[in-house]
Structure 1
Amino acid sequence: MADGVAILEGEVRELIRRRGLDPSADAEATRVLIADAVADYDERSLLGRVPRLVDPNEATKALHDAVVGLGPLQKYLDDPAIEEIWINEPGKIFVARSGRAELTTTILTAAQVRDLVERMLRSSGRRLDLSTPFVDASLPTGERLHAVIPDVTRTHWAVNIRKYVARASRLQDLVALGSVTPQAATFLDAAVVSGLNVLVSGATQAGKTTMVNALAGSIPSHEHVITCEEVFELRLAGRDVVALQCRQPNLEGAGEIPLRRLVKEALRMRPDRIIIGEVREAEALDLLIALNAGNPGLATIHANSAREAVTKMCTLPLLAGENVSDRFVVPTVAAAIDLVVHLDLDRDGVRRTREIIALAGRVEEGMIETSSLFERREENLVRTDGYPPHEDRFRRAGYDLHALLAHAG
């Protein structure tokens, strides 16, 4: 079977070359070509001219994966239970299934790894070479690719492909997934509608992008939304939205568009709401300025707890320059950020909301005053005694804040 598929793959690639087809752009024509090639091969195998195919349908799928998809990796992309694929070296390919890592039986060659990465980058317009040994890009089907090459890595190319299995478009989707309780989801929905600024924190793979996507589903449909991301990840369909992503420098080292520039440009586009995919560096200052200018927004940040996320938001803007001091940043964070939603990945691989805190807007001895609204106790997200700021905004939006946060029973 393997010999037959290898022969067929060579014949199909030659036919594609002769006909000038682009497998990714001419998917239907490529599918017909593969089907005709398999049928012709099957006839020749009956005459004993070529090795016989045990399962023509399986051979057709393998050919389609090799020519149109990502070859041996395609089956992992097609598996809805797999969340991430990474290659440490050609003989060590891992997947994350339900939050847990598994070593696969797939073995590639170094040449195959390079070919797969180059194929994935072809549609992104991004490059990977000695001058740019890192790359971050989106695949046409929405997955996020990150790759690193030697000599930044020791010997082999390191490749990560992150999928988005549970695409939650509303907070109620997260309730169904068990990530958040109905009361917390109802409160967060009201907070977004009322125009509060929400920071989503958590570790890698905790579900921050999914939470922001769900929170964005609560933004009123008449609002003009601008999203700024390193690579496109958010999916805000069916609304007034402009999505912006960063750009790498060209071969001459020019033309780079960093996240800070995107935030500044977004403010010139008359946004009613601004969303920052992930705050890592000095763009935190631009986000604070945007939020402090009356533009409600959402953003994500890596942190171990909600309060550590607040501390980090007070530190990152200092990277913007020596003239930026904590005397400006700390009260600005207190005034600009209203809620922090912290997420966690449990040991069983389930993503859950760990806590929700509110910033009162006050600073005491350089520390921002916070209060807990919800926290997880014995695997349950329960209401605590804190209250968020801006009760007047909830009231103007038609919500009774005290009723939203009333203790059950």
Structure 2
Amino acid sequence: MAVLERVRELVEQQVRTAIRNDGLDPLAQPDKFRAVVEQCAVEVWIAHGATSAEGDPAFVAREVMQIFAGFGALQEFFEDPTIEEIWLNEPGRVFIARQGRSTLTNVVLNDREVRDLVERMLRVSGRRLDISSPFVDAVLPDGSRLHVVIPDITRKHWAVNIRRFVMRPRSVDELVPAGTLTTQAANFLKAAVVSGLNIVIAGGTQAGKTTLLNALLGSVASHERIVSCEEVFEMQLNHLKWRNTRNNHLSDNRIHDIHRLLLASAGISCTKGPCAQTGTVGRADLPVTR
């Protein structure tokens, strides 16, 4: 085991050097990156005289690729379709949730690994995280929602939460077999959308607000025009007349100002975000209005 760990460390060092010196981008050049990692793994494996009893270079290459192009020690959780949520309040305690039940995993990270993971996750989102912006929401390439808070908002460690959308229905009807809605409720909601009624979807964290919104939007007729405004891109629409607007630095109140402007436009407007207006109680994440 010690030999395997040493080989992995050396391969990781060589790959870091290649990225720095050759300008290799693991995300933009996946094939070239994979070839470099596999070659490094074989060369280091042979140089250290590692044997098949200790593993194989392909295993080392996969681990190193996950560090740079995947999500490192968390990658296995992203590949498990049953996992709904991943979170950690400190590096040594990583939790996952399946069917609403949380479990402490045997994954142990350190502060540097957590920061590297978060930076890699944020790279494609355009969001930033620093002292002036100590918390962030972003959407990962697979559609998962990332929320990170750092000190001094937290006491000591970076707090990371990743919410994955296990269910991705494209219509309200698909929620009936899942037990989310009755047939009567589904028919009522479809009729409400078709009739252009105002709909507010509200609920607690991970209650299924985004899932229901995306299902409702599946009932919008193809000739309708849709304009949406979100804090984080989560709406899923294959609509010919869909326009999504978002600014990374909009405050909650600013989003509501834009929503009022959307009300004057023709078609269906959707605003997704927390209700922060005076007189609003709780959280109404997904207003849909026409």
Is residue 2:4 matched to residue 1:21?
A: no
Please state how far the C-alpha of 1:257 moved relative to its aligned partner: 8.8
Q: Judging by fraction of residues, say which structure has more strand.
A: 1
Amino acid at match of 1:259: I
Instruction: Select 1:9's aligned residue among 7, 12, 20.
Output: 12
* CA distance 1:41–1:265, shift in 2 (3 Å): farther
Amino acid at match of 1:63: V
Calculate the aligned-residue CA RMSD, in Å.
2.8
Does the Cα contact within 8 Å between 1:91 and 1:107 map onto a contact in 2?
Answer: yes
* CA distance 1:337–1:130, shift in 2 (3 Å): closer
1:280-336 Cα offsets, whole Å, 9 max, x none, are 212999xxxxxxxxxxxxxx816xxxxxxxxxx9xxxxxxxxxxxxxxxxxxxxxx9
| Cα separation, 2, equivalents of 1:235 and 1:89 | 32
| Cα separation, 2, equivalents of 1:152 and 1:337 | 35
Task: Give 3-state SS (helix, strand or coil) of 1:258's partner.
Answer: helix
* CA distance 1:257–1:118, shift in 2 (3 Å): farther
Query: How does the TM-score come out when normalised to structure 2?
Result: 0.87
* CA distance 1:36–1:265, shift in 2 (3 Å): farther
Corresponding position of 2:65: 64
Is residue 2:126 matched to residue 1:131?
A: no
Please state how far the C-alpha of 1:223 moved relative to its aligned partner: 0.9
Please state how far the C-alpha of 1:128 moved relative to its aligned partner: 1.6
| Cα separation, 1, equivalents of 2:56 and 2:238 | 40
Does the Cα contact within 8 Å between 1:247 and 1:256 map onto a contact in 2?
Answer: no
| Cα separation, 1, equivalents of 2:260 and 2:196 | 20
Please state how far the C-alpha of 1:90 moved relative to its aligned partner: 0.8
Matches within 5 A, 1:326-341: none
| Cα separation, 2, equivalents of 1:257 and 1:301 | 14
Instruction: Select 1:301's aligned residue among 272, 284, 289.
Output: 284
Q: More displaced, 182-191 or 228-237? A: 182-191
| Cα separation, 2, equivalents of 1:219 and 1:169 | 11
| Cα separation, 2, equivalents of 1:69 and 1:284 | 43
Please state how far the C-alpha of 1:219 moved relative to its aligned partner: 0.4
Instruction: Select 2:269's aligned residue among 271, 274, 279.
Output: 274
Amino acid at match of 1:280: C
Does the Cα contact within 8 Å between 2:147 and 2:160 map onto a contact in 1?
Answer: yes
Please state how far the C-alpha of 1:265 moved relative to its aligned partner: 4.9
Identity between Structure 1 and Structure 2 (%): 43
Amino acid at match of 2:258: L
Corresponding position of 2:236: 235
* CA distance 1:56–1:257, shift in 2 (3 Å): farther
| Cα separation, 2, equivalents of 1:284 and 1:125 | 33
| Cα separation, 2, equivalents of 1:120 and 1:258 | 26
| Cα separation, 1, equivalents of 2:279 and 2:194 | 23
| Cα separation, 2, equivalents of 1:265 and 1:17 | 46
Corresponding position of 1:39: 42
Larger Rg: 1
Matches within 5 A, 1:4-403: 4-45=7-48, 48=49, 54-248=55-249, 258-267=254-263, 270-282=265-277, 301=284
Does the Cα contact within 8 Å between 1:31 and 1:64 map onto a contact in 2?
Answer: yes
| Cα separation, 1, equivalents of 2:26 and 2:260 | 39
Please state how far the C-alpha of 1:106 moved relative to its aligned partner: 0.7
Amino acid at match of 1:263: H
